[in-house]
Amino acid sequence: MTIGFFTVFRIDPQHYLHAAALVAECCTVLPSVPVVHLTDDKTPAVPGVRAVHRCPFGPMLERRLESYAATAGDWLLVDTDVSVRQDVRDVFDDPWFDVAVTDRNWPHLPQPADVLQTMPFNTGVMFSRSGAFWQEVLAVWRAYPEGDRDWMSEQRAVAEVVKTGRFRVKVLPGMVYNYPPGAADAQADAAIWHYKGPHRKAWLSARAYSVLGHPVAVPV
């Protein structure tokens, strides 16, 4: 398995900092798993990554989907506001799926009906072994009118491609693999956390300084 994340630095460095914390966490939890920075042609490599895959400067969402589409093999593709807390390589023990998505069934964070209908899967955590799946997502996304290509459009495109039935899709429980921690009910044993809600920025900042400020020596 390879862990990949997409982030570019243009003006605001917060995502770069969160990416650095994500990498440091991954290196601690999964020291033998390579972490790859997917980015544009200018952004400096995030410290700790094994490799950088670059694409030309351009619209971020499109570049992210292109980067995903260029992957081959077993990839865990995550947002930079994700925290990998446990070894999740066993997901790939199942040879049947092309992509494993995570549902939004979060009892402590009920989702609006329209979100569940149009974007039933949160793409902040995706297990992928099919670049072709992402090429299809990219094609669907590119067919959207300019005005519909907002940040959520990627999730709508993923849902559309899943619905076609052309790919083998496994649905994983979001409570385990894409868990948005709540203030009082943190499910500490969830494998992957995904920071959301009003405390998101504070959590992410605290995570960054905690993880990066007290690094653990990891053999490469």
Partner 1 sequence: VKIPYALTAAVAVPERRAQMASAIAWANARGVTRLALQPIDQARTLSIAAYGPSLRDTWQALTPPILSMSGATKFLVERGITPTWHCDMDPRAHKALTSLPVVPGVTYLAASVCPPAYFEALGHAPVILWHAVSSQWDDELDWVSRHDPNELVISGGTTIGLTAIQLGGVLGFRRFELHGMDGSFADDGKRHAGPHAGKPQPNLITWDAEGVTYRTSQIMANSVAETVNTFRNMPILGVFYGRGLIQALIREANLPNACTAEQTEKRAWMAAQRVNVVDAPLVPKGRGSVWEAFVERLTPDDLPALVGHIAECEPRRAAARYNTGTVPFETSVLLRAVTRYYQPRVVAEVGTFIGTSARALDTGATVYTCDRSNDCLPATATIRTYPYQSSTDMLRAITEPVDLFFLDGRLQPADLHEIDRLGHPRTVFLFDDCVGEEKGVVNLRLLAPRCPDHVAIPPCETYKGRSTLGALLPRMSA
**Is 52 or 143 the residue whose CB approaches partner 1 more closely?**
52
Is there binding between residue 205 and partner 1 (CB under 8 A)? Answer: yes
H/E element, 38: strand 35-39
Q: Pick the closer one to partner 1 by CB: 43 or 128.
A: 43
Among 107, 113, 214, 220, binds partner 1 (CB under 8 A): 214
97 binds partner 1 (CB under 8 A): no
Distance CA 141, CA 137 (A): 6
How far lies 68's CA from each of 145, 208, 211, in Å?
22, 25, 27
Interaction pattern, residues 27-66, with partner 1; x per rule: CB under 8 A = -----------------xxxx-------------------
What tokens appear for 98 in the block? 């092309």
Q: Who's near 207: CB < 8 A, 6+ residues apart?
A: 18, 21, 25, 83, 195
Cα angle, residue 78 at apex, residues 168 and 140 outer, rounded to 5°: 50
Residue 213: CB atoms within 10 A of its CB come to: 9
> Per-residue string for binding with partner 1, 146-185, x by CB under 8 A?
----------------------------------------
| Segment contacting partner 1 by CB under 8 A, of 9-17, 81-89, 138-146, 182-190 | 9-17
Chain residues that interact with partner 1, rule: CB under 8 A: 9, 11-14, 16-17, 20, 44-47, 201, 205, 208-209, 212-215
